Amino acid sequence: MLRFVLIFLSVNYLPSILGSPESDAKDLNEALNGIPNGYNESVLITVLYEKTYEQRYKMIEVFRKTYGEEAYNQLWNKISYPPTELRRGIMDNSSAYYDAKMLFLAMGFLYYDEHVLFEIMVTRTSQEMREIKKAYDIINKDGMDLCGDIETVTSGDLEDILLALCEADRDESDRVDEKLALRDCCLIYEYGPTYIFGTDEEGINSILFKRNYKQLQLMFEIFSEYRMHARLATLETRTIETVISSEYSYEEEDILQMYIKAVKNRAGYFADLIREGLTDGAKGERRVIRTIFSRAGNDLPEIVKEFGGKDKLVESITNSTDLLGFTKQALIAILNANCEKC
Ligand SMILES: *[C@@H]1O[C@H](CO)[C@@H](O)[C@H](O)[C@H]1NC(C)=O
Ligand SMILES: *[C@@H]1O[C@H](CO)[C@@H](O)[C@H](O)[C@H]1NC(C)=O
Ligand SMILES: *[C@@H]1O[C@H](CO)[C@@H](O)[C@H](O)[C@H]1NC(C)=O
């Protein structure tokens, strides 16, 4: 029944869902072979990327079955030059698979990219994290699970933080408890996060990574006003950010600041990743792709809103001198298919 309702809604609100996997596969074959007007890369990009994850996955599955391995290899040859983040994503059937693949690549032997690890781990909800872990097990079926691989590549406080996020054991209710927020504040404020985040059970696990987002937002708010509650009044105003930066350094500080920013406003955080990525060379290009590709079908509309609207985002992508032409067209196609209400 739910499935029926979803299909009904999709047909009504997402006209691009109307194409069947069979007709999509036919379009793909024609685009690859330049039927009828000769090969045109823009046409191939539209066929490949102006899709939801599921549509693309089914299209390629049918394409491979119908036209064979040679045609499938031809597809990969045609898209051999854009960044990995765009190419590898075409075979994933959900954003959880995409995230899992990005994590797997980021922790690979050839190419350890801490930023990718942080970026994904600090922003995914517990529900998303559980799906990513399942997908990771399928992708890395002969290896370790996600938490195991994280344990291998990290150490110290950083490892503790990432493993707590990997556990995905956050309260998922909307319940907000002011007394509890005040208590958490008090602990962090008076003893400092190093003490709290140490080996103490009451530490990092039970506060920062287990409370729900609303509860944490309240706690951060109280935190900056806490001076007024404190018996041991200090003169300077401290925020959770200033306390983190005075107690941590290097990667631990980076990841905690990223996490706090994401807890305060996740869509805004992603919009900033895109904004900064658009003028940050090849690394930035990959970050923009990851953000838009992985949030397609999730909170992409909210992110686009935080960015200032779809027109502005499309214009900024078009203007960017750091993105390949292929990337620009692909990102705009993803936006068209996954952000109809933007
Ligand atoms: C390729 O296709 C695009 C989109 O359909 C079109 O705007 C463009 O003119 C075509 N280019 C050539 C060389 O035919
Ligand atoms: C997604 O793909 C994986 C492997 O490629 C498969 O095991 C899984 O069942 C697929 N999920 C859906 C919903 O199609
Ligand atoms: C894109 O470039 C044009 C021309 O330089 C400029 O007028 C416009 O404001 C830019 N748009 C954005 C969103 O940066």
Q: How far apart are CA 28 and CA 58, in angstroms?
A: 12
Superfamily of domain covering 95-167 = Annexin (1.10.220.10)
For the CA of 41, the closest atom of ligand 1 is 1
Q: Is the CB of 43 under 6 A from ligand 1?
A: yes
Distance 147 CA to ligand 2 centre (A): 21
- Distance between CA atoms of 282 and 278, rounded to whole angstroms? 9
Tell me how long the chain is. 342
Asked whether the beta carbons of 18 and 50 are under 8 A apart, the reply is no
- Token digits of residue 51: 């899709």
CATH-assigned architecture of domain 178-264:
Orthogonal Bundle (1.10)
**Predicted confidence (pLDDT) at residue 66 exceeds the cutoff of 60:** yes
Cβ burial, residue 168 (10 Å; 0-12/13-18/19+):
buried
Q: Which band of pLDDT confidence, cut at 50, 70 and 90, is reported for residue 94?
A: very high
- CA of 237: how far to CAs of 227, 228, 233, 241, 246, in Å? 7, 10, 10, 11, 13
Distance 335 CA to ligand 1 centre (A): 20
State in Å: Cα 192 to ligand 3 middle.
Answer: 46
CB under 6 Å to ligand 3: residues?
Answer: 312, 315-316, 319
Cβ–Cβ under 8 Å, residues 342 and 301: yes
Least confident of 19-33, 76-90, 117-131, 214-228: 214-228
Ligand 1 midpoint to CA 95 (Å):
30
Distance, CA of 268 to CA of 323 (rounded, Å): 22
Q: Residues with Cβ within 6 A of ligand 2?
A: 93, 138
Token pair, residue 238, equals 């401290």
Cα dist from 102 to 32, 136, 150, 191, whole Å: 27, 10, 13, 37
* 75 touches 93 (CB < 8 A): no
- The residue type at 112: Y
Please check whether residue 247 is in contact with residue 256, taking contact to mean a CB–CB distance below 8 angstroms.
Answer: no
Does 5 score more than 50 pLDDT? no
Is the separation of the CB atoms in 211 and 219 below 8 Å?
yes
Q: Ligand 3 centroid vs 317 CA: distance in angstroms?
A: 10
CA-nearest residue, atom 9 of ligand 2: 93
Helix then strand then coil, in percent of the chain rounded to 5, is 70, 0, 30
pLDDT digits (tens, 9 = 90+) for 106-116: 998 677 899 99
- For 107, the 3-state DSSP assignment is strand
pLDDT of residue 207: 85
pLDDT-based confidence at residue 342 (cuts at 50, 70, 90)? confident
**Alpha carbon nearest to ligand 3 atom 12, residue:** 316
**φ, ψ for residue 146, nearest 5 deg:** -55, -50
Q: Nearest ligand to the C-alpha of residue 278?
A: 3
Tokens representing 119 are: 């970026």
Proximal ligand: closest to the CA of 141? 2
**pLDDT reading at 282 higher than 90:** yes
For range 72-78, the mean pLDDT:
95
Contact 64, 30 (CB under 8 A): no
Structure confidence at residue 205 as a pLDDT band (50, 70, 90)? low
- 5 by Cβ neighbours in 10 Å (0-12 / 13-18 / 19+) ranks as exposed
Residue 147, token pair as written in the block: 């938490």
Residue 177: CB atoms within 10 A of its CB come to 15
CATH number attached to the domain at 15-80:
1.10.220
For residue 18, what pLDDT band results from cuts at 50, 70 and 90? low
> Mean per-residue pLDDT for 109-130?
91
CA atoms of 114 and 103, how far apart (whole Å): 10
Residue 140 Cα to ligand 2 midpoint, Å, equals 14
Query: Would the CATH topology of 15-80 be identical to that of 95-167?
Result: yes
Q: Which ligand is closest in space to the CA of residue 101?
A: 2
Handedness of CA 189, 191, 196, 202 (dihedral sign): negative
Is the pLDDT at 179 greater than 90? The verdict is yes
Q: 86 CB contacts (<8 Å, ≥6 apart)? A: 79, 289, 293, 326, 327, 330
The tokens describing 340, both together, are 């109809």
Q: How far apart are CA 58 and CA 64, in angstroms?
A: 10
The domain locations on the chain are 15-80, 95-167, 178-264, 267-338
